[in-house]
Amino acid sequence: MTKSYRKYLKEILIDPETLQVRIAELGEELSRVYAESDNLLLICILKGGVMFLTDLTRHIDVPHEIDFMAASSYGKGIRSASGNVRIEMDTTAQIEGRDVLIVEDIIDSGYTLNFVMQTIKARSPKSLRLCTLLDKASRREVAIESDYVGFRIENKFVFGYGLDLDEKFRNLPFVGVVDEDALKSD
Ligand code: IMP
Ligand code: MG
């Protein structure tokens, strides 16, 4: 892999300003939804959700805590709806009786989030909702709907703004489409 992301960028799908405007809108919406909540907890799914979480939290004016969970999936072709996803790092905050909002970068097949939601649900939160920055609905293999969606996108592999290309380029301020040909020529 070369040092510059430019080689792998086919096009910018969502530019920095569009991202920030939409995230501010989501933050305002969530501030209304949780206006009466006195125990709101945002759980960011690492690593991809981290940029989104840090920007989103600054637009939520209801007092809240943040926490983190890391999940990984493997054996892509042979996954079952609950299996083959693993919690690599768990939350530390109390979940029982709280208003919990899961903050994720992208829902693709849905396996990861389905597992995460089931895991959190089993800990008896007062309410449990999901907010994803990106939704690739056409790729869904398990039925999971996000309560709040930043952008619905087509079935293209994207990177930047938290999403990685081989673990890199999460720091880019935009969401870009990967040039598959450039990857093949590496
Ligand atoms: P799912 O279990 O198939 O929904 O996969 C969700 C996870 O796959 C996300 O949390 C991302 O880490 C990763 N992922 C899915 N699509 C993309 C993409 O286009 N770019 C980068 N990562 C992706
Ligand atoms: Mg992720």
- Give residue 78's pLDDT: 45
Ligand nearest to the Cα of 111, by number: 1
Class of domain 16-155: alpha beta
Give the pLDDT of residue 77: 47
Domain boundaries along the sequence of the chain: 16-155
At residue 183, the pLDDT reads 86
- 184 preceded by cis ω (within 30°)? no
Query: Among the atoms of ligand 1, which is closest to the Cα of residue 164?
Result: 21
Active site (annotated) includes residue 108: yes
**Pocket lined around ligand 1, Cβ cut-off 6 Å:** 48, 73, 105-113, 157-159, 163-164
Q: How confident is the prediction along the chain (186 residues), in pLDDT tens digits per residue?
A: 667 999 999 999 999 999 999 999 999 999 999 999 999 999 999 999 999 999 999 999 999 999 999 998 765 544 444 558 899 999 999 999 999 999 999 999 999 999 999 999 999 999 999 999 999 999 898 999 999 999 999 999 999 999 999 999 999 999 999 999 998 888
Give the Cα separation of 169 and 162 in Å (integer): 8
Collapse the DSSP code of 43 into the 3-class scheme (helix H, G, I; strand E, B; otherwise coil) and give the result: strand
Burial 71-96 (b: 16+ CB within 10 A, else e): beeeeeeebebeebbeeeeebeeebe
Q: Give the model's pLDDT for residue 126.
A: 98
C-alpha 88/C-alpha 86 separation (Å) is 6
